Structure 1
């Protein structure tokens, strides 16, 4: 990864890495997702969005396609002592979608079951999902890799972000609007990745383009949760070093 990307990521809380996946790799990823049965509680479909939560559990054949040497190299630079995958989601924002996402931070993690621990809360539960807001230190040691399967810009739902906002800690919802004046659009080409910290303030507009915006959202962490708590989608990456 170019040194400037690491520098930007540290300073701004996000960075763009074009060409993480080749066109052939992107095509294989899309074919694998499109072949999956789109039914069950982890699938959400409407005219404005198609999403798959617990992506690797629902589409197990996807991880071998995502787990490329390029991704391993990236993770080795971000987490020199190793990491694990904690969440995977697929988002498809169809052409002309009216779906928008208001300004927010990604504050919740998915766990297998509720277990009270100091600093963990509030909790939410829906169907088979249990989520909790962890201490800020857990979020600060997490990196989201958003793999873009289509060219993405302001017209088809590219994320708007507030550079440096990941350093603000958890921002009260009622004060978020006061931090968004310096927002910018993070355009990403197909096959590229957007790296971001969960505490980065981000949002996205409705789509005004005939192009879709399909994204694989992967969260990685080096954090070990306290006794009684376990990541719901934990996938150990035993070795991130490049031989």
Structure 2
């Protein structure tokens, strides 16, 4: 079912729980086209990571130019219109392929870093990291609260193939200290998402994923959108106006 333009409960759930699931954001034929586009892309360099346990492409929209026209559907724009009535921009894109029987897990964490074009003396920003793919920084909480992640699932995903576990409402506590996590994680829930569906989440939502125990892959296109502008000293590294 495509996203309706009359779903205020979607935004309400996202604000209250820090996540929401939208089924049928992409049709099966659209999912197949996305997979073909990614699977036929050839590339190397710091944005490509390949191993037996993971295939990832950072800045996938930039690295695979033919992908964005397939992602940029009327359904996605309707959804973004609900989330950002005054407009937004894409600020990060990643492709994750967690192969069948991959034995890696992701520990409990919040997504605290954003990708920027340079390191600068910007008030409230830090710590900073510099990697081959570019510079990242932890921004003020207000910036993180503005970001919405849309994880587009290209496979059916449940607890057996690495679905995210989340702690509902944990995004409302700001940046969490490690000592606070044991008191929150017992209430975690696993987020099953069908192929073509999307999981919406706030970066400050506490989340993790287990090892895969099935023969099914978990392929996801991870997109982050925001409406805020950064200080003039720095810019979003992957900024794309919507």
Query: Is this a same-fold pair by TM over 0.5?
Result: yes
1:13-60 Cα offsets, whole Å, 9 max, x none, are 100000000000000000000011142110111111110001111101
- Between the two proteins, the alignment pairs up a number of residues equal to 237
2:53 to 42, 48, 53: 48
1:170 to 175, 181, 188: 175
Q: Partner residue of 2:194?
A: 189
- Per the TM alignment, residue 228 of structure 1 is displaced from its structure 2 partner at its CA by 1.1
Residues 1:218 and 2:220 are matched in the alignment: no
Residues 1:14 and 2:19 are matched in the alignment: yes
* TM-score where L is the length of structure 1: 0.96
Q: Report the secondary structure of 1:224's partner residue.
A: coil
1:229 to 225, 234, 237: 234
Q: Report the secondary structure of 1:130's partner residue.
A: strand
Q: Partner residue of 2:87?
A: 82
Tell me, in whole angstroms, the C-alpha distance in 2 between the residues paired with 1:200 and 1:164: 7
Residue segments in structure 1 that go unaligned for 5+ positions in a row = 238-243
- Per the TM alignment, residue 227 of structure 1 is displaced from its structure 2 partner at its CA by 1.0
Residues 1:146 and 2:138 are matched in the alignment: no
Q: Report the secondary structure of 2:187's partner residue.
A: coil
Tell me, in whole angstroms, the C-alpha distance in 2 between the residues paired with 1:17 and 1:131: 29
CA RMSD of aligned residues (A): 0.9
Label 1:8 to 1:42 Cα distance change in 2 as closer, same or farther (>3 A): same
Q: Partner residue of 1:73?
A: 78
Q: Report the secondary structure of 1:75's partner residue.
A: helix
1:64 to 57, 64, 69: 69
Q: Partner residue of 2:10?
A: 5
1:52-87 Cα offsets, whole Å, 9 max, x none, are 001111101100000000000000010000000000
Residue segments in structure 2 that go unaligned for 5+ positions in a row = none
